[in-house]
Amino acid sequence: MARSQRTFRLKYNEALDFLAAGGEYDSISGLARNLHVSRTTARSILARLQDQGILTGGIGRAARSIDQADYYPRNQVLETTEILRAAFMTWIIRERLRPGDILDEAEIATRHQIPMSNVREFLIGLAKFGFFRKLRGREWEVEPISSDFIDQMLSLRRMLEVKSIASLVVLPAHDPFWPALQSLRTRHVELLGTIGGETLPFVALDNQLHSLLNTSSDNRIMMILQEAVFFLFHYHYRWGSTDEKARNEQAMIEHLEIIDALIARDAERAEASLINHLSVAKNTLLETLDVTTAGVLAPNEKTDSIRSAWF
């Protein structure tokens, strides 16, 4: 899909978030400023909002309630790296990636219709953190990670993410961060009230929340480390599945505490809630490693190949 199409769909979803949160567009120029797009793109977004019956008077507040079916699916707005990250997430949850497993970059590219060069670049980025080792040709082997490295990475994550709170609470009311945050809050409440802590929906929300916090605060170091931190958590975290649903539900409650503190622009409470959430997640992850001998499998436990099981 062309980048221009992805940008339009991403910005259209942002407009839905804004309207769903009670926002109002007073003009084409206001819509363009709010979404950080050109007036031409703003007109196209407005036209679709009118076609869908969301805006009836050309401008103003939403004329009807907005639900998930109004949004473009995430796989139609994600960039290539985000598509790969989402694909890794799905596969890790289903197949439980282990040290010694083999990935084939050509098969990944074919299945997801992504250029192989992008797949290779993604794997090279993760290999820098020791998650993968390049083998012959197009194959990569999953490497074991020590608990010391995990402790260092998550301590860095805590320092950087907590520091970003100060810049988030002073964002202007018209910033797209606020409706996006409100939309995530709504989805957390809906998930807790329906299927609860089912793994795949929870992991998606967890990834989206932390990505939103980092991008909106212009936390550039965490944006660079995003794939590594994501992989670190959901690669190892899935090894200990005991009480997983309950853990996920508790994490969502912790997310809501962070979100509510941010909406109240209470930096002190938001920082305390985020510190608690990250500390619980870190301790759970390290406990999981203790159960699985710090992420190291004996040689005879390695699988020969998981290429046929990719997603």
pLDDT tens for residues 102-116?
Answer: 889 888 888 777 788
The dotted CATH code for 79-86+96-144+296-309 is 1.10.10.10
Collect all residues with Cβ–Cβ distance below 8 Å to 37 and sequence separation of at least 6: 7, 11, 45
Q: Which two tokens stand for residue 220?
A: 């550039």
**Token match 């194959």: residue?**
139
- Topology annotation, domain 3-75: Arc Repressor Mutant, subunit A (1.10.10)
Radius of gyration of the chain (CA): 21
Share of the chain above pLDDT 90, in %: 24
Same fold, 3-75 and 79-86+96-144+296-309: yes
pLDDT mean across residues, the chain: 81
Domain definitions of the chain by residue range: 3-75, 79-86+96-144+296-309, 147-292
CATH class label, 147-292: mainly alpha
Q: How far is CA 34 from CA 22, 39, 62, 164, 175, in A?
A: 14, 11, 16, 22, 7
Collect all residues with Cβ–Cβ distance below 8 Å to 110 and sequence separation of at least 6: none
Asked if 279 contacts 158 with a C-beta cutoff of 8 angstroms, the reply is yes
Please state the pTM of the whole predicted model: 0.70
Sort strands 132-134 and 102-104 into parallel, antiparallel or unpaired: unpaired
pLDDT value at residue 103: 87
Query: Given a cut of 60, is residue 42 above it in pLDDT?
Result: yes
Q: At what angle do helices 116-127 and 80-95 cross, to 10 degrees?
A: 70
Mean pLDDT within 230-248: 69
Query: Given a cut of 80, is residue 296 above it in pLDDT?
Result: no
Collect all residues with Cβ–Cβ distance below 8 Å to 117 and sequence separation of at least 6: none
pLDDT value at residue 305: 34
Query: Given a cut of 80, is residue 192 above it in pLDDT?
Result: yes
pLDDT value at residue 162: 94
Asked if 154 contacts 112 with a C-beta cutoff of 8 angstroms, the reply is no
